Amino acid sequence: MGENKRATLGGRLSAVLVAAGSAVGLGNIWRFPYIAGENGGGAFLVIYIGCILLLGVPVLLAEFTVGRHTHKNSVGAYRLLSKKWSFLGYNSVISSLLILGFYFVVSGWTLEYFTSSITGAISEYSSSVVNAERFADFTTDPVRPVIFTVIFALLTHVVIALGVQKGIERSSKLMMPILFVMLVVLAIRSITMPNGLEGLKFLFTPDFSKVTAKTFLDAMGQAFFSLSIGLGCMITYSSYFNDKTNLQNTAYNVVILDTLVAVLAGAMIFPAVFSVGIEPTSGPSLVFVTLPSIFNTMTFGSLWSAIFFLLLILAALTSTISLHEVLTVYLNEEWGISRKHAARCVTLVTTLLASASSLSLGVWGDFKICGLNLFDSLDFVTANILLPLGGCLTSIFAGWVLNKQILRDEISDHGRLKARLFGLLVVLLRYVCPTLLLSIFLYNLGLFTL
Ligand code: TRP
């Protein structure tokens, strides 16, 4: 596809829904509740929102600026703006590949839990102990999780192969509203369970006695992961925005939707957890182990469970699409490979990596990188190293290297919009974001040598 024929998204709503589709994912529904649970609930929420406002909004606007100004893939975009900084584009390509290496695996689990809910198999596992065993048996199995991982990768492939408008734009417009409705229905169901209000209290009453330095670091990492920023994913998506897209409004809407979904996911999960008297601190298995046992106590348990896992599938799919697109459009534009062929290469490579990382939870578990199996090391390296580092460099680039006029023109839509907070944005990008993000990075590097 020649550059002049590059796809653009339709109206204003498309830009918001597509970007929100990338942002809203397993990060909001699976990761946010368990991280909030481990960090005391309400207090975490307050700090998380602080991170979103101070770090999330500026870096998101910086990525939107780079993408929309250049209308190129992340490598091409940085190269066009400054040759020296094109390494940041490669960081984006490598990180997207590595994230997909574990994201496809967890997405595959959601597909298996959905099928087991439909067939009713899930209702045989009534207690959390049995559920935990089932989860462990399934995730360490050498065949079944790999099959589901491959199916999920193929689903993503189909959407990408359909193209930016017919695939990405259409699927986001269809899936995002459904996702939202399902989430609200599930949250209402959960809050109305006996003792459900206890869960809401946990989420909304800040108890700062549980806050430690790690809470801040967890909140920053979660904010970046959840908004899909730091890795140039939003550069790729905003390169399809048209020249009328209002970047400020799009960024605010994406941030609001993403945070709302995370809060609603909390409002769905904590009341259910409290109503059956389980501790909210059970970690990554919260969604896969705790929730199915709660569904089993409900009438029509399998139905609720099916709705919940379908919700997770849709959320995960709109995010895997965005990660896949970063790689596909990179191969397409930088290597001159046709889009269809590029998509096939990406699907093949990411599927192989994800299958290996699924196997690393079981039969290939002895193969360790710095003490972690492949699955955990992919998660660790991306979320704890590449993401904060990428975010830090992105803000330095936008604050110090990028021509101020380009930033102002994009943010104000060439003077058509008021950019009242422009001065504040520059201060945040120049000083606040790099300092805070460098601190997460150094902290995590410390963890690395432990
Ligand atoms: N934001 C998504 C989630 O919350 C995951 C994701 C998609 C992502 N693209 C990304 C995370 C780019 C970091 C960078 O699940």
pLDDT of 447 above 80: no
- Would the CB of 28 count as within 6 Å of ligand 1? yes
Taking each helix axis from N to C end, the angle separating 170-191 and 196-204, rounded to the nearest 10 degrees, works out to 120
The mean pLDDT value for 239-258 works out to 94
At residue 5 the predicted structure's pLDDT band, cuts being 50, 70 and 90, is low
Rounded to two decimals, what is the model's pTM?
Answer: 0.93
pLDDT of residue 3: 44
Residue indicated by tokens 């919009």? 417
At residue 126 the predicted structure's pLDDT band, cuts being 50, 70 and 90, is low
**How far, in Å, CA of 70 to CA of 72, rounded?**
5
* Cα 190–Cα 269–Cα 102 angle in degrees, nearest 5: 140
Summarised one tens digit per residue, pLDDT across range 356-382 is 999 999 989 888 888 889 999 998 888
**DSSP secondary structure letters along 270-318:** HHHHHHTT--TT-GGGGTTTHHHHHHTTSTTHHHHHHHHHHHHHHHHHH
Summarised one tens digit per residue, pLDDT across range 326-335 is 999 999 999 9
Length of the chain: 450
The mean pLDDT value for 228-253 works out to 94
**How far, in Å, CA of 316 to CA of 200, rounded?**
25
Q: How far is the CA of 255 from the centre of ligand 1 (A)?
A: 13
Q: Which of 24, 106, 259, 319 for a ligand 1 pocket mutation test, highest count of atoms within 8 Å of Cβ?
A: 319
Judge whether 191 and 200 are in contact, CB under 8 Å. yes
Q: How far is the CA of 127 from the centre of ligand 1 (A)?
A: 32
Residue 316 vs residue 126, higher pLDDT: 316
Q: Which of 88, 233, 260, 327 for a ligand 1 pocket mutation test, highest count of atoms within 8 Å of Cβ?
A: 233
Residue 192 vs residue 81, higher pLDDT: 81
* Residue 5: C-alpha distances to residues 58, 71, 80, 222 (Å): 30, 11, 18, 36
Name the residue at shortest CA distance from atom 10 of ligand 1: 228
pLDDT of 450 above 70: no
Summarised one tens digit per residue, pLDDT across range 255-298 is 999 999 999 999 988 888 888 777 777 777 788 887 887 888 88
Q: How far is the CA of 226 from the centre of ligand 1 (A)?
A: 6
Average pLDDT, the chain: 90
pLDDT of residue 2: 41
Q: Which of 179, 322, 327 for a ligand 1 pocket mutation test, highest count of atoms within 8 Å of Cβ?
A: 322
pLDDT of 398 above 80: yes
The mean pLDDT value for 85-95 works out to 95
- Would the CB of 35 count as within 6 Å of ligand 1? no
- Would the CB of 56 count as within 6 Å of ligand 1? no
- Would the CB of 25 count as within 6 Å of ligand 1? yes
**How far, in Å, CA of 30 to CA of 219, rounded?**
15
The mean pLDDT value for 200-222 works out to 87
Residue 399 vs residue 8, higher pLDDT: 399
- Would the CB of 128 count as within 6 Å of ligand 1? no
Summarised one tens digit per residue, pLDDT across range 21-40 is 999 999 999 889 988 988 88
**How far, in Å, CA of 149 to CA of 153, rounded?**
6
